[in-house]
């Protein structure tokens, strides 16, 4: 409505055009979602593949599979020969802005001293070319992996540039597709990358405009615990959280599994206020705009919308972190211990979360096997989990270092 008044306000012709940073308009997503019992991203993604023609062989998907996600869940090992991601030295104008930020916000979290983002289209395209050439071939198999020594692994680090309009999403996907057809990158890597852009990114934006306003206040688990101080410092003995939060402070970046399965998982299991979690994500990540960050946190990470977006909460014990990372190797907590002061806190928090939210979650068919395991546990073991979780959460509430 405000934009429609611009022409009369300024006395000049005004033409309002569709935002070129997206492939699916708000109206088109609303039409797609209308009448559906569930808004499953996979089906939306397949429609986007058909619409764009990306990785399509006529009416069928290339290599006869729509999705290679099952092939992209391998852990990674440190690699001294892995290429370094391309950074850009700030020009004079950028340095002036960085100096202004330091002057105006001297006590804010983080530092501008490591700023190396592209600020021009030409440099953003150089970053995209470097990703396609150096990292895309190995992107797929390691996209869920986490390593203390390598915060970026084979990730693209291009979301910043797509979101602010320095890179065109469809052109980037076509460049990745060419890499596959030219034999430079495997189908699993290319499909996974394209899915993140034309599938997940477009879907998340559609969810945002479909659910707002009011979506940001969703709190299905009635969680109200404030964020611990270590969210702003990284000072915790939990190695996974310390690593990811410190990386976030340093680079204003963490990849999707670090955001979802480390910070997000802990936040949900510990009963942190989802609105506070949302505001933290919005504040600390360079690629965070509310349209993409809010549904990812409220719907995907915290399941605070009660299942409007995701089919189940993404909850995990320490075993997942140990399988997909090397964080546990240097942690003061023992991931192999289930309960007690030396056990990984995620182990007890996981079962305690499922126990205290059983009324809401136990009928979810995707959690049937998990709840079957819980019901088979003897009373003593269940109580040990509850006791360990309660002790940890009490230390959290008391401000005791954890």
Let me know: does 39 contact 33? Beta carbons within 8 Å: yes
Let me know: does 55 contact 61? Beta carbons within 8 Å: yes
- In the chain, CATH 1.25.40.80 covers 27-211
In 3D space, the residue among 165, 94, 95, 84 whose CA is nearest the CA of residue 124 turns out to be: 165
86 Cβ contact list (under 8 Å, min separation 6): 126, 127, 130
Res 61: pLDDT: 96
- In the chain, CATH 1.10.579.10 covers 229-398
| 90-124 tens-digit pLDDT | 999 999 999 999 999 998 888 899 999 999 999 99
Let me know: does 301 contact 267? Beta carbons within 8 Å: yes
Res 20: pLDDT: 85
- Categorise residue 306: left if φ over 0, alpha if ψ from -120 to 50, beta otherwise: left
Dig out the tokens for 73 from the structure: 């869940």
List C-alpha distances in Å: 385 to 247, 261, 325, 349, 379: 31, 20, 24, 8, 10
Residue burial 42-55, b: 16+ Cβ < 10 Å; e: rest: eebbeebbeebebb
* Residues written for the chain: 402
Let me know: does 348 contact 266? Beta carbons within 8 Å: no
Res 1: pLDDT: 66
Residue 193: how many CA atoms within 13 Å on its side-chain side?
Answer: 36
Dig out the tokens for 277 from the structure: 């979690």
Could you tell me which CATH number the domain at 229-398 has?
A: 1.10.579.10
Res 342: pLDDT: 97
Let me know: does 309 contact 39? Beta carbons within 8 Å: yes
Res 162: pLDDT: 98
Q: Tell me if residue 93 falls in helix, strand or coil.
A: helix
Mean pLDDT, range 249-271, rounded to an integer: 97
Dig out the tokens for 278 from the structure: 């949302």
Q: Which residue has the higher pLDDT, 257 or 8?
A: 257
Mean pLDDT, range 384-388, rounded to an integer: 98
| 38-88 tens-digit pLDDT | 899 999 999 999 999 999 999 999 999 999 998 888 888 888 688 899 899
Separation between Cα atoms, residue 190 and residue 176, nearest integer Å: 6
Separation between Cα atoms, residue 197 and residue 44, nearest integer Å: 12
Mean pLDDT, range 234-242, rounded to an integer: 98
| pTM for this model (two decimals) | 0.94
Level-2 CATH architecture, domain 27-211: Alpha Horseshoe (1.25)
Res 15: pLDDT: 87
Let me know: does 371 contact 354? Beta carbons within 8 Å: yes
| 151-203 tens-digit pLDDT | 999 999 999 999 999 999 999 999 999 999 999 999 999 999 999 999 999 99
Separation between Cα atoms, residue 74 and residue 146, nearest integer Å: 10
Let me know: does 172 contact 162? Beta carbons within 8 Å: yes
Strands 56-57 and 60-61: antiparallel
Separation between Cα atoms, residue 399 and residue 289, nearest integer Å: 31
In 3D space, the residue among 184, 164, 166 whose CA is nearest the CA of residue 176 turns out to be: 184
Mean pLDDT, range 339-352, rounded to an integer: 97
Separation between Cα atoms, residue 118 and residue 283, nearest integer Å: 20
Residue burial 280-308, b: 16+ Cβ < 10 Å; e: rest: bbbebbbbbeebbbbbbbbbbbbbbbeeb
Separation between Cα atoms, residue 236 and residue 345, nearest integer Å: 12
Res 64: pLDDT: 94
In 3D space, the residue among 193, 155, 226 whose CA is nearest the CA of residue 68 turns out to be: 193
């Amino acid at each position: 409505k405000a934009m429609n008044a611009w022409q009369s306000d300024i006395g000049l012709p005004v033409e309002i055009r569709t935002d070129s940073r997206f492939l699916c308009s708000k109206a088109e997503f609303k039409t797609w979602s209308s009448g559906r019992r569930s808004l499953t991203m996979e089906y939306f993604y397949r429609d986007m593949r058909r619409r764009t023609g990306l990785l399509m062989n006529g009416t069928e998907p290339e290599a006869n599979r729509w999705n290679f996600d099952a092939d992209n869940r391998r852990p990674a090992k440190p690699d001294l020969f892995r290429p370094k991601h391309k950074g850009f030295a700030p020009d004079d104008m950028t340095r002036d802005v960085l100096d202004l930020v330091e002057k105006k916000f001297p006590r804010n979290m983080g530092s501008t001293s490591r700023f190396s983002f592209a600020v021009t289209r030409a440099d953003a395209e150089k970053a995209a070319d470097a990703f396609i050439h150096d990292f895309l071939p190995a992107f797929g198999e390691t996209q869920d992996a986490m390593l203390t020594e390598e915060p970026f692994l084979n990730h693209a680090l291009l979301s910043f540039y797509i979101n602010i309009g320095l890179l065109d999403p469809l052109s980037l996907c076509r460049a990745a597709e060419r890499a596959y057809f030219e034999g430079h990158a495997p189908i699993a890597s290319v499909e996974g990358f394209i899915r993140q852009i034309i599938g997940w990114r477009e879907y998340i934006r559609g969810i945002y405009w479909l659910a707002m306003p009011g979506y940001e206040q969703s709190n299905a688990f009635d969680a109200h615990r404030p964020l611990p101080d270590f969210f702003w410092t990284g000072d915790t003995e939990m190695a996974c959280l310390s690593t990811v939060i410190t990386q976030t402070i340093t680079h204003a970046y963490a990849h999707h599994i670090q955001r979802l399965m480390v910070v997000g998982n802990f936040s949900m299991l510990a009963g942190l206020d989802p609105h506070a979690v949302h505001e933290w994500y919005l504040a600390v990540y360079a690629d965070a705009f509310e349209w993409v960050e809010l549904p990812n946190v409220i719907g995907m990470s915290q399941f605070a919308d009660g299942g409007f977006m995701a089919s189940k909460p993404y909850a995990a014990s320490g075993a997942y972190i140990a399988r997909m990372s090397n964080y546990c190797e240097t942690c003061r907590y023992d991931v192999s211990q289930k309960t007690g002061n030396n056990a990984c806190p995620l182990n007890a928090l996981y079962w305690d979360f499922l126990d205290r939210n059983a009324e809401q979650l136990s009928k979810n068919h995707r959690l049937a096997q998990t709840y079957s395991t819980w019901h088979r546990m003897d009373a003593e073991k269940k109580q040990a989990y509850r006791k360990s979780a309660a002790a940890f959460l009490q230390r959290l509430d008391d401000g005791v270092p954890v």
